[in-house]
Amino acid sequence: MTARLPDVPRGTEDLRLVGGTLIDGTGAAPVEDAEVGVSGDRIVYVGPRRAGAPGREIDVQGRWVLPGFIDAHVHLVMSTSVDAERQRLWFPEEAVIAAVGNLRATLDAGVTTARDLSGLTPGYRSAIASGEILGPRLHLAIAMLSPTGGHADPVHANGTLPVWAERGLASGAAVVDTLDEVVRTVRALVRTGADVIKVCTSGGVSTPHDSPSDAGLPREHVAAIVAEMAGRAGQPVTAHAQSDASVRAAVEGGVASIEHGYDLTADTIALMRERGVVLVPTLSTLLRTPPGPADAARLARQERGLASISAAVAAGVPVALGTDAGIHAQGRNLNELAHLVRVGLSPLEAVRAGTLVGARLLRLEHALGSVEQGKLADLVVTDVDPLRDIEALADPSRVRAVVQGGRLVKDLDGLLR
């Protein structure tokens, strides 16, 4: 089943990107001196450079051409660049402007499609579709679900709220304790326009009442949500799950993907592989270095997480790129590629994880995720050879151009001058 295809404004000019090295996202070997032909918003030709073909020629010799990347785990209303106390003093308009900046920074990083897993509302998706703002194509969870005191419960013991909730963005959380509440909330999210349902089967690091080892929604509630979605548009269900028990509850409940997965046993890994559950490890967030002295517990959690993800990769569990941007710095999304190589993917496989695997997870592989004839023209042009220096793609300035829906939305080299 395919999903709702997020809209963006379409290109109006026929273009030919010629002379670059193409890495098409399928896992195929690179093609040198390639040509990618674009008409409107679609790719109409992929192959060797042609002489005299129609369309405006763009010389990308010495560059690499890749599909637009997909970040399957972001929180674009959140910011790590502004002090939390200052954010508490923002007017609502300032929060919206910050989110718009995060959207643009994500697109400039080479991410043409993003799955926001709580925080953004459909108004942002509509603004991108109409061309009022620039940003990635959006798939939205709108809110994440947990029990009272769980990872989606923002209320501190003294009754205070975190920054995002104080700003009136409480749609990012949905507290549910009974099966009736679970089903009613999920139906409301679908009515509002959710493309994916996010559940929390474990606690987390950043919430006031729980820890990653705590239980969240039980398997029975997850299974009820999956069954509810099967009778609707088939929206996939994903689970924030850090402990092994929480991952198993989510997988047995029928989720399509696991977010984080930092403490997996061999049995749970085998179950994930058997059921085709995608792992979105958000290593950029796991491995971030917060300010202050080294924390032994954090370092131990990082080593355990790396070992867990490496074991899943070695076992053949499918992996999609996701950064948890908002916890991780916004606009540095392709930092995740080098981390994926660290846990066992080849550079070519890491690119595929950030393109075609992500498209399949979002049920958009018919239109996105690879540079193939008939697909939407979402393309990245970089001066980095990803197979030799994948770490360099973390720098947005090395992403020289971005094409989204056939429209050049970033052009550091003046390709259309």
Average pLDDT, integer, range 326-349: 97
Name the domain count of the chain: 2
Q: CA of 325: how far to CAs of 15, 77, 104, 331, 335, in Å?
A: 32, 10, 13, 8, 11
Q: How confident is the model at residue 383 (pLDDT cuts 50, 70, 90)?
A: very high
As beta bridge partners, residue 16 has: 37, 57
Does residue 258 register a pLDDT over 70? yes
User: Are 87 and 56 found together in one domain?
Assistant: no
Please report the pLDDT score of residue 192 as a whole number: 93
Does residue 62 register a pLDDT over 80? yes
User: Are 136 and 169 found together in one domain?
Assistant: yes
Does residue 173 register a pLDDT over 80? no
Q: Is residue 172 part of a domain?
A: yes
Helical segments of 169-295, H only: 179-192, 219-230, 244-253, 266-275, 283-286
Nearest to 377 by CA among 119, 123, 55: 55
58, burial (CB in 10 Å: exposed 0-12, middle 13-18, buried 19+): buried
Q: Is residue 341 part of a domain?
A: no
Which sign, positive or negative, has the C-alpha torsion 295, 336, 239, 262? negative
Cβ atoms < 10 Å from Cβ of 32: 11
Please report the pLDDT score of residue 170 as a whole number: 44
Average pLDDT, integer, range 35-60: 95
Average pLDDT, integer, range 138-146: 95
- DSSP conformation letters of 39-77: ETTEEEEEEE--SS-SSEEEE-TT-EEEEPEEEEEE-TT
Q: How confident is the model at residue 163 (pLDDT cuts 50, 70, 90)?
A: low
**Nearest 10 degrees: Cα torsion 186, 188, 193, 195:** 0
Q: Is residue 363 part of a domain?
A: no
Q: Is residue 228 part of a domain?
A: yes
Q: Is residue 367 part of a domain?
A: no
Please report the pLDDT score of residue 159 as a whole number: 54
Half-sphere exposure of 291 (CA within 13 A, CB side): 3
Nearest to 371 by CA among 54, 106, 60: 60
- How high does pLDDT run on average in the chain? 92
As beta bridge partners, residue 407 has: 404
Q: Is residue 358 part of a domain?
A: no
User: Are 157 and 293 found together in one domain?
Assistant: yes
Whole-structure pTM value: 0.94
User: Are 220 and 272 found together in one domain?
Assistant: yes
Q: CA of 207: how far to CAs of 171, 200, 349, in Å?
A: 16, 12, 33
Does residue 270 register a pLDDT over 60? yes
- CATH code, domain with 182: 3.20.20.140
Q: Is residue 50 part of a domain?
A: yes
User: Are 120 and 226 found together in one domain?
Assistant: yes
Does residue 212 register a pLDDT over 80? no
- CATH code, domain with 20: 2.30.40.10
Q: How far apart are CA 354 and CA 380, in angstroms?
A: 12
Q: How confident is the model at residue 148 (pLDDT cuts 50, 70, 90)?
A: confident
Q: How confident is the model at residue 162 (pLDDT cuts 50, 70, 90)?
A: low
User: Are 150 and 218 found together in one domain?
Assistant: yes
User: Are 284 and 309 found together in one domain?
Assistant: yes
Q: Which domain holds residue 377?
A: 15-67+372-411
User: Are 127 and 237 found together in one domain?
Assistant: yes
Please report the pLDDT score of residue 330 as a whole number: 96
Q: Is residue 352 part of a domain?
A: no
Average pLDDT, integer, range 200-229: 82
Average pLDDT, integer, range 320-348: 97
Cβ pair 237, 251 in contact under 8 A:
no
Half-sphere exposure of 44 (CA within 13 A, CB side): 14
Of the residues 281, 309, 333, which one is the last residue of a structural domain?
333
- DSSP conformation letters of 277-326: PEEE--HHHHT---SSS--HHHHHHHHHHHHHHHHHHHHT--B-----BT
Span of 156-170, 175-189, 377-391 with lowest mean pLDDT = 156-170
Does residue 166 register a pLDDT over 70? no
User: Are 196 and 132 found together in one domain?
Assistant: yes
Q: Report the Cα–Cα distance between both ends of the chain, in Å, rounded.
A: 41
Q: How far apart are CA 14 and CA 18, in angstroms?
A: 13
Q: How confident is the model at residue 213 (pLDDT cuts 50, 70, 90)?
A: low
User: Are 285 and 381 found together in one domain?
Assistant: no
Look at 78 and 171; give whichever has higher pLDDT.
Answer: 78
Q: How far apart are CA 292 and CA 311, in angstroms?
A: 31
User: Are 382 and 326 found together in one domain?
Assistant: no
Does residue 168 register a pLDDT over 50? no
β-strand pairing of 31-39 with 42-48:
antiparallel
Please report the pLDDT score of residue 171 as a whole number: 54
For the chain, give the percent of residues with pLDDT over 70. 92
Q: How far apart are CA 223 and CA 97, in angstroms?
A: 38
Average pLDDT, integer, range 98-116: 97
User: Are 120 and 44 found together in one domain?
Assistant: no
Please report the pLDDT score of residue 82 as a whole number: 82
Span of 34-38, 50-54, 359-363, 375-379 with lowest mean pLDDT = 50-54
Of the residues 333, 362, 395, which one is the last residue of a structural domain?
333
Q: How far apart are CA 247 and CA 315, in angstroms?
A: 16
Residues with Cβ within 8 Å of 333's Cβ and at least 6 positions away in sequence, in order, are 69, 71, 74, 106, 109, 110, 111, 284, 321, 323, 325
Q: How far apart are CA 42 and CA 311, in angstroms?
A: 38
